[in-house]
Amino acid sequence: MARIVFMNGTLVSENDAKVSVFDHGLLYGDGVFEGLRSYGGQVFRLDSHIDRLWESAKAICLEIPMSKKEVSSAVNATLEANQLVDGYVRLVVTRGAGSLGLDPNRTSHPQVIVIADTITLYPREFYDKGLSIITASTQRTHSAALSPRIKSLNYLNNIMAKLEGLRAGCVEALMLNHKGEVAECTGDNIFVVRSGTLVTPPSDAGILEGITRGAVIELAEAAKIDCQEKTLVRHDLYTADECFLTGTAAEVIPVVEIDSRSIGNGVPGPITKRLTADFHLMVRRVS
């Protein structure tokens, strides 16, 4: 059955959802997006995602031709049209069609697109037994070149790192910043547990401030688990007691091996399990 897609105010069949070949989102990756999850018919932290979309758009001088309320309604309408209670939403805003050339002033009609579907980012066994990842040689884009807080359509940097991981037999890869510090993985934020303290890289390490990352930090505080945002290097990961990743699509997933080094006992640890369980309760309880 064809999925229903929201395109600029209208719900259409995926077969009729089209953008111009001259759209700068296609030609140059000029646009922004958000990935959202729906649990039990409620989109998790919808307002936070919408606010971040607007921040990304403002940072690249892209005017979204709808209000926040209208976009939020479009997200819910698209889920309902596809009869999805538990689903994944990709919300995209492109610069719009224009002439060949980089000038964004020569574009018009930004495209607002909402796609709703199901998603399984990793096999179930990885959530139970944990991931093995590698460190990619591809660095996280320097924040002076493009702010990591902009969730743009140009993900080639992350894709190149992802390819390194896949070719090494791993489904995810760690990315370092230009100083050799731990930033994040290709699609997820990273946490480690060291001597009972939860640690994750700070914003200035070159990370996207993930919505799920923020939720896990809240859960750690509620559980009286000391949580710190501090600079990490690979040594800190190799010698950690536990490690896990967070992301909208991934949710919370343990990491048990990095660069052929076992993390802790080589199995998901107790704090990882506690926060995973707490997160699953949270998403069913609040939106």
Q: Please tell me the predicted confidence (pLDDT) of residue 287.
A: 46
Q: How many CB atoms lie within 10 A of CB 102?
A: 11
48-87 CB burial, b ≥16 within 10 A, e <16: ebbebbbebbeebebebeeeeeebbebbbebbebbebeeb
Q: Give the position of tokens 């990619």.
A: 136
Residues of the chain with pLDDT under 70: 286-287
DSSP code of residue 195: T
Q: Is 151 a catalytic residue?
A: yes
Q: Please tell me the predicted confidence (pLDDT) of residue 165.
A: 98
Residue of 208, 164, 204, 169 whose CA lies nearest to 190 = 208
Q: For the chain, which domains are there? A: 4-117 (3.30.470.10), 124-285 (3.20.10.10)
Q: Please tell me the predicted confidence (pLDDT) of residue 66.
A: 97
| Ramachandran area for residue 196 (φ above 0: left; ψ -120 to 50: alpha; else beta) | left
Q: Please tell me the predicted confidence (pLDDT) of residue 286.
A: 57
- Condensed to tens digits (0 to 9), the pLDDT of residues 79-134 reads 999 999 999 999 999 999 999 999 999 999 999 999 999 998 899 999 999 999 99
**Cβ pair 237, 258 in contact under 8 A:** yes
Exactly one of 68, 129, 151, 273 is catalytic; which is it? 151
Q: Please tell me the predicted confidence (pLDDT) of residue 226.
A: 98
